[in-house]
Structure 1
Amino acid sequence: MKSRPRTQRILITLGITLCLGTVLIGAVKDDFDSLVKRLQQEKPTYAKRHQTLLVERYDLSDRPATGVAMSRGKPVQEGVRVKLPQGMTWDKLAAMSPEEIKEKNLWPAGFYPLPHPHHEAGGMVFPQPLIDETKRQTNRDLTRFDLDFDLPQHLLPEFPAPIFLTTRPDLGDVSQGQLVTLDNFNELFKEVLNPKQLEGLRLLVTPFPQAQFNATADRRSLRPHQGVSCFDCHANGHTNAATHTVGDIRPNEHRHRIDTPSLRGVNIQQLFGSQRALKTVEDFTEFEQRAAYFDGDPEQAQRKGVNILERGSQVHFMAEFQALLDFPPAPKLTILGELNTEKATASELRGEAIFSGKGLCVSCHTPPYYTDNLMHNLRAERFYKERMINGRKASADGPIKTFPLRGIKDSPPYLHDDRLMTLEDTVEFFNLVLELKLNEQEKQDLVAFMRTL
């Protein structure tokens, strides 16, 4: 048989290649469509499972405290929200030993680790106000087709949060009440920051590919995605309570839900990451981009589009801006971080005395910023038997970083995995964990003091 002319062979080969390419593209599309359909069908089941857990654990009602607000005026929620076992009281529980609480299975459900909204799936999940405002400003949609954020908005930080700068305290809120994004950062900050700092802020609001938000066919956004920015979670350099699961713990059932911490006061901190103990904010910024965005999986990162930041310039510029983020004003505190006796109420002054004395709080949270920049292991597992909770194994958490308490009323929910909804919950938790035996008045005074910080 005579061979075909070279030009004809090339055209046939090209045709076969194009056909195969069409088949492969179709297969990927079909695979993605099937993934979307399956996960959307599963979504109500997992949402119901998680909401049932939340209702069993907590009182999620909207009960604001009278006369107490966050920095821009959002009401602070009050009251203990963790539900007790039937027939139990906080005083009865506090009178028992850890061993007795464990043996009788009396550890409150809300004090167990809180799972991710769908712990087996994990990944970044954003509150609706952040999704809506980001889409309005930038046309970037942070909605996941497989799951939604879980906690009600009244139990979250105010949005958008104000931005206070260490370099320009005279300006107050430099965000002017806006969510800072790639759309408006330059206009808001061009007269306030130097060129390096402005470039650092630009990078912090620039979206980069992430495990769930990228252009591959195993993403969790309906359309191919630019990715997420640092300030999607740390909105306005603070927090909007967006969550995720930590990238450096395995197997998956042991991974912690992440409480997004505020970036306020980065300049006075010496450890970064709730358990990683990274030594600089530059280390943490680079870690987030290279590892945390992709669940600590380098292969996934390469496939989905990891953004390798240049340490000597880009990472440095980002860190330089983060170091300018200040705590909110605390008008009742002196320059040493203690209460001004002429401005504080009797309850707040009693609370400060408890904080520094019987409550043992000052052992870790030392003024003026109320952190010792160390890590501590609370060993809460003394109080309960290991168990599986919606895909999350409740076991030993290990050492956790001491986060600053300055501005703490602006940062609910609390603890490293969001398990505590209010400051009252945190007082009850530590009253048991530290075996303090605080009475009801002492608890109220302690909360009153922390609200002044």
Structure 2
Amino acid sequence: MQILRIAAGAVLCGATCLISAAPPTSYMPVVAKEDFQTTFERMKAARAGLMREQAAFLESRYDLANRPANGVAMFRGKPVQEGVRVKLPRGTSWDKLGAMNPDEIREKGLYPQGFLPLPHPNHPEGGMLFPQFHIDEIKKQEQRDLNRFDLAFDFPDHLLPEFPAPIFLTTRPDLGDVSKGKLLTIDNFHQMFNGILNPKQLEGLRLLLTPFPQQQFNQTEDRRSERPSRGVTCFDCHANGHTNASTHLAGDARPQEFRHRIDTPSLRGVNLQRLFGSQRALKSVEDFTEFEQRAAYFDGDPVIATKKGVNVLERGSQVHFMGEFQNILDFPPAPKLGVTGKLDPRKANEQELRGQALFFGKAQCATCHTPPHYSDNMMHNLRTERFFKPHQAKGAMMVGDGPIKTFPLRGIKESPPYLHDGRLLTLEDTVEFFNLILETRLSATEKAELVAFLRTL
């Protein structure tokens, strides 16, 4: 009997039967379709082409140049990048765009591409990706390899947070940066923190630095590491309890093109937060820790998690101990802020003070970002879909983001890129984004003043 292929993957068997394509599924395939060596050779050969394509995509959206701000640095001296990096559609300007209403921007197709959701370097594949500087340091200290044979991280280092990041503790502010310029790992944590933490916190830190199997890094034939892997740690993304801008896809949505890229948020100040996960709204850091191990490490699929070696942590001791350490991670010092979280007028300059007035006034930032840690611990939907028509780019759907948690702004200059998926490269980009979304119509001078204030937080 002749079999003819027709649209949508269905097959026509002569004139007597129609067999439809496989129905949609929320589950990943458990049984591999090819042996590891075949997968390795196929995906490794495709890697260079995928990364060239992603680089061209980023260049079409952003100015990726290394352009540091004069005299502005992170705590340990890494220059802060300046300037709007999102590229505008030809023939328009930020002032012209800011004067238009959402319907007009949508109909004319003028919404900046860099304000759209940011796809993963290979969105149909997804998975955890680490900056090369982190990969190299972990390999040096632990001989654990976080390189993927199919993909590499996509943003240049100068647009990422300081590495290794400083560590500040709410319990010992007198110590300043406890890291002393070192990356905290399973090899050095005891030497670094014994005598500073209590036994529960020390055990929690050990677990945060212990490798556990993950979707791309495990011992199965469908892993994405060349050799069988011990896995990843919580602090492979939240390096030194902060962030190194590692990326992943949120496991919360299906199908794959609707999954959102994740920019790793800082863990500093989690003791002040009441919601965890950019869109999950988990209610405690313990919930988040447990969720990450049981599901998020495996793309939200508990079936594949069982195959790959899920590490089920005991809530009353292990998860609680991990939470105890996370809850003492503090923000970096902000010497220009008073005890209420606002600028001390004796220490701030006029531009910063004008920026603060805008933050609490015309710019509407304080509607969500309230002092002293500049978050209202709530979720908000910016309804960005007002400005553009849904479409697909690089395997990801360009649609509205839905409700997003209000991230704290304390220490914000230390954790680029910005927004939940890292689509905004600088604070200037972030101000332009919210000026458009909130329709606040700030002038160029007011935008600069607002950025100056944000750098003091």
TM-score by length of 2: 0.93
Deviation string for 1:252-307 (max 9, x for gaps)? Answer: 10100001000000000000000110000000000000000000111110000000
Residue 67 (structure 2) pairs with residue 63 (structure 1): yes
In structure 1, the residue corresponding to 2:262 is in which secondary structure?
coil
SS in 1 for 2:248: coil
Give the Å deviation of 1:45.
Answer: 2.3
The alignment status of 1:447 with 2:434, answered yes or no, reads: no
What one-letter code is carried by the residue in structure 2 that aligns with 1:74? K
Out of 205, 208, 216, the position equivalent to 2:209 is 205
Matched with 2:283 is: 279
Please give the residue correspondences for 1:365-444 in structure 2 after superposition, counting only pairs within 5 Å.
365-444=369-448
Matched, 1:166 2:170: yes
Look at both structures and tell me which one has the larger radius of gyration over its CA atoms.
1
Q: Mapping of 1:184-203 within 5 angstroms?
A: 184-203=188-207
Letter in 1 for 2:308: K
In structure 2, what is the equivalent of residue 89 of structure 1? 93
* CA–CA distance in structure 2, aligned partners of residues 396 and 61 of structure 1: 28
Q: Is the 8 A contact 1:49 1:390 kept in 2?
A: no
- What is the aligned partner in structure 2 of residue 37 from structure 1? 41
Match of 2:251 in 1: 247
Q: Measure the CA separation in 2 of the matches of 1:271 and 1:429.
A: 23
| 2:127 aligned residue (123, 129, 138) | 123
CA–CA distance in 1 between the matches of 2:400 and 2:163? 33
CA drift of 1:93 comes to 0.4
Structure 2: segments with no counterpart, 5+ residues: 1-31
Structure 2 match to 1:258: 262
Give CA-to-partner distance per residue, 1:210-265, whole Å, 9 cap, x none: 00000001000000000000000000000000000001111110100001000000
Matching residue within 150, 153, 165 for 2:157: 153
Q: CA deviation at 1:44?
A: 2.1
- Which secondary structure state, in structure 1, belongs to the residue aligned with residue 400 of structure 2? coil
| 1:326 pairs with 2:330 | yes
RMSD: 1.1
CA distance in 2, matches of 1:37, 1:222: 10
Structure 1 counterpart SS, 2:392: strand
| Change in 2 beyond 3 A, CA 1:195/1:104 | same
Residue 21 of structure 1 corresponds to: none
Task: State the shift of 1:30 in Å.
Answer: 7.8
2:79 maps to amino acid: P
Please point out which of 316, 336, 344 is paired with 2:348. 344
The aligned counterpart of 1:292 is 296
The aligned amino acid for 2:409 is: L
> In structure 2, how many angstroms separate the alpha carbons of the residues matched to 1:74 and 1:175?
16
**Structure 1: how far apart are the matches of 2:395 and 2:66?**
28
Q: What residue identity is the alignment partner of 1:446?
A: L
1:315-347 per-position Cα deviation (integer Å, ceiling 9, x unaligned): 000000000000000000001000010110100
Aligned partner of 1:139 among 140, 143, 147? 143
Instruction: Tell me the equivalent position of 1:22.
Output: none
Match of 2:317 among 289, 313, 338: 313
Q: For 1:10-52, what per-residue CA distance to the aligned partner results, in whole angstroms no more than 9, with x for missing partners?
A: xxxxxxxxxxxxxxxxxx9981110011101221222122111
Aligned AA for 2:286?
E
How far apart, in 1, do the equivalents of 2:249 and 2:327 lie? 25
Deviations 1:186-228 (A, max 9, x none): 0000010011000000000000000000000100000000000
**Count of residue correspondences:** 427
Q: Which whole-Å CA distance do the structure 2 matches of 1:30 and 1:300 have between them?
A: 17
| Residues 69 and 76, structure 1, Cα contact 8 Å, conserved in 2 | yes
| Structure 1 position 77 matched with structure 2 position 81 | yes
More helix by share: 1
Q: Distance in 2 between matches of 1:285 and 1:381?
A: 31
Which letter maps to 2:220? T
SS in 2 for 1:417: coil
The answer as to whether partners of 1:246 and 1:292 remain within 8 angstroms in 2 is: yes
Structure 1: how far apart are the matches of 2:439 and 2:400?
Answer: 18
User: Would you say the 8 A contact 1:29–1:217 is kept in 2?
Assistant: no
Deviation at 1:71, TM superposition (A): 1.1
1:361 matched to 2:365: yes
